[in-house]
Amino acid sequence: MRRLLAACLVSLAPLAAMAQQVTHFTLENGMEVVVIEDRRAPVVTHMVWYRAGSADEEPGVSGVAHFLEHLLFKGTDTLAPGEFSATVARNGGSDNAFTSYDYTAYFQRIAADRLDLVMGMEADRMVNLRLDEADILTERDVIIEERNQRVENSPSALYREQKSALQYLNHRYGVPIIGWRHEMEALGLDDALAYYTRYYAPNNAILVVAGDADPGEVRALAEKHYGVIPANPDLPPRARPQEPPQLAERRMTFRDPRVSQPYVSRSYLAPERDSGAQERAAALTLLAQLLGGGQTAVLTQKLQFESQIAVQVGAWYSGMSLDSTTFDLVVVPAPGVTLAEAEAAMDDVLTGFLETGPDAAHLERIKSQLRAQEIYDRDDASSLARRYGAALTQGLTVADVQAWPDILQAVGAEDIMTAARDVLDRRQSVTGWLMAPEVTQ
């Protein structure tokens, strides 16, 4: 309750002016450093982000970025396999890592006085990783099992994978982060080392430290641990194959006997947030909220409450992406409603929205929610660390991140309509039906 009140009180102040104490600098070897001070508890989050994700892989070795992420928990010259995480845990901390299309990131959350320790270990595995064939065989089984669990066992996950492959005609966002199974099965030591040697270097990394940390002390530690690692002079420019014009509306039907709840989803190719030019992405962010964000959203109102055609609807857009991303819609039909009927109803709502535009009060309510959300988010140093790390690996700057809340607030109804007319173009879309197989009579 106190938080809600605080949100209301600050809602009139420009949001950018409220930015945390964020310090940003670059080491001589090209490694960027972001320090987010939050001294309320003697804890730090230490993250290293590499500007290298699955979309930076070579063709034919899908999954190698994520595979390498696993392998970074094997040994180095001075650390035995598993010793990294064991050391963090022994010191009362936790650690993990994650891989996406545009980045791979490693993090630890630990007592502030252990920053030196984790930084030393993280810098060590940036360049001193030691892998052998046995590591490959063991860990490859692990990632294949991870694929079994997360993808093969889930019709929705398989559906999303096939759908992404249809959304992108040329870009590697069409290839799953975890990898195509047949390519994962063939991943070898050479593949992992090639990716490691090419991308793991200080001039391709961003250090983010959030929490009880003094920028001057972080700089001294960063110079001590990371500053001594030479830049990789052969780091390739980051230019992935871009999409050609998408000229033909696409559809797919995925049938799986394990599907109990069918649904229809639609994705449109959409622009991402670009440095210094985030306005279109801001308009799309609001559009997604207007269409599918919560109980008062247009799709929710029309399809769940009025016609009761749907039991669930959604609209999503995240502009956090280095290259073109998607604007996504989903409608889960009520019992007895076919996917064709659900889809037609969804399209009717879109058509109506494109004619009438957003309700002014609704738009204001969403902006106010976004302001409140922004305040809440700032309460969590780890989530801020993640926000900056993701942004800096996806082509944005610290200034872009700090400008974003005000850019969202400045979006007008006409901006949203322009963005909607641009993006909701069926020629750039994939419509998917997830359903159980037809019953043969």
Residues 6+ apart with CB under 8 A from 158: 151, 152, 254, 256
Helix (H, G, I), strand (E, B) or coil at 227: coil
Catalytic site residue from 32, 57, 58, 69: 69
How far is residue 224's CA from residue 116's CA, in Å, rounded to a whole number?
9
How far is residue 9's CA from residue 400's CA, in Å, rounded to a whole number?
25
Does 254 interact with a second copy (rule: CB under 8 A)?
yes
How far is residue 420's CA from residue 287's CA, in Å, rounded to a whole number?
7
Closest approach of a second copy to the CB of residue 441, in Å? 14
By beta-carbon proximity to a second copy, the closer residue of 211 and 395 is 395
User: Does 58 participate in catalysis according to the annotation?
Assistant: no
Closest approach of a second copy to the CB of residue 388, in Å? 29
By beta-carbon proximity to a second copy, the closer residue of 45 and 54 is 54
How far is residue 434's CA from residue 256's CA, in Å, rounded to a whole number?
8
The stretch near a second copy (CB under 8 A) out of 34-42, 76-84, 159-167, 311-319 is 159-167
By beta-carbon proximity to a second copy, the closer residue of 140 and 378 is 140
- Selected from 250, 362, 365, 367, the binder of a second copy by CB under 8 A is 250
Does 60 interact with a second copy (rule: CB under 8 A)?
yes
Does 338 interact with a second copy (rule: CB under 8 A)?
no
Does 240 interact with a second copy (rule: CB under 8 A)?
yes
Helix axes 360-377, 413-423, angle to 10 degrees: 90
How far is residue 28's CA from residue 137's CA, in Å, rounded to a whole number?
38
How far is residue 292's CA from residue 370's CA, in Å, rounded to a whole number?
14
Q: Among the residues of 274-379, which ranges form H helices?
A: 279-292, 298-299, 339-356, 360-377
Does 159 interact with a second copy (rule: CB under 8 A)?
yes
Total length of the chain = 441
Closest approach of a second copy to the CB of residue 77, in Å? 31
By beta-carbon proximity to a second copy, the closer residue of 242 and 418 is 242
Does 130 interact with a second copy (rule: CB under 8 A)?
no
Does 59 interact with a second copy (rule: CB under 8 A)?
yes
Judged by the rule CB under 8 A, the positions of this chain that interact with a second copy are 59-60, 62, 158-159, 162-163, 165-166, 169-170, 172, 174-175, 180-183, 239-242, 244-256, 427, 432
Catalytic residues: 69
